[in-house]
Structure 1
Amino acid sequence: MKREPNLIISSASQHIVVDGVPFKVDICKLEGGDGWSLEVVTEDGTSIVWDDLFDDDQAAFQEALTTIRKEGPKAFVRGDSNIIPFKR
């Protein structure tokens, strides 16, 4: 039986605060995988996951920072006008 790969959590994963709004930045990859996955989680639990993988964990972290600063932290908070909720 083939063993499932381990999940590698990057040391670049961390809690950050931008303009007073807290975020959790999670960066991980599967053991032996080709790229790093990026997820940003807001204080209220809203999760934003990038579709593309990153060559290294620092590039993923920089993308999170750049996007939060460019879009504005309030754009990530649930209930903002640019958030489209999943249909139920």
Structure 2
Amino acid sequence: MEREPNLIISGASQRIIEDGVSFKVDIYKFEGGDGWSLEVVTEDGTSIVWDDLFEDDQAALEEAATTIRKEGAVAFVNGGSNVIPFKH
């Protein structure tokens, strides 16, 4: 039986606060995998995952910070038009 690869969490993962709104930035990859995944989670639990992988974790962090700053915090919270909430 083949074992599942380990999930590697980047040390660059962190919280970013923009316009008084806190975002959890998670950057991770599978052990031996190609590229880093980026996920931003809002205060209300909405998860936004980028489709593209990043060459390194710093590039992923820069993308998250730039997007949050450019789009504005309100684009990510309270059901912004570009967010599709998960059904529970």
Same fold flag (TM > 0.5): yes
Gaps of 5+ in 1: none
Q: How does 1:9-88 map to 2 (within 5 A)?
A: 9-80=9-80, 82-85=81-84
Gaps of 5+ in 2: none
* 2:76/2:83 contact within 8 Å kept: no
TM-score (norm 1): 0.91
- Secondary structure in structure 1 of the residue aligned to 2:70: helix
* 2:38/2:49 contact within 8 Å kept: yes
* 2:12/2:61 contact within 8 Å kept: yes
State the 1:78 CA deviation. 2.5
- The one-character-per-residue Cα deviations of 1:58-85 (angstroms, maximum 9, x if unpaired) are 00000000000111111000323x2353
Report how many aligned residue pairs link the two structures.
Answer: 87
Identical-pair percentage: 74
**What is the aligned-residue RMSD (CA, Å)?**
1.7
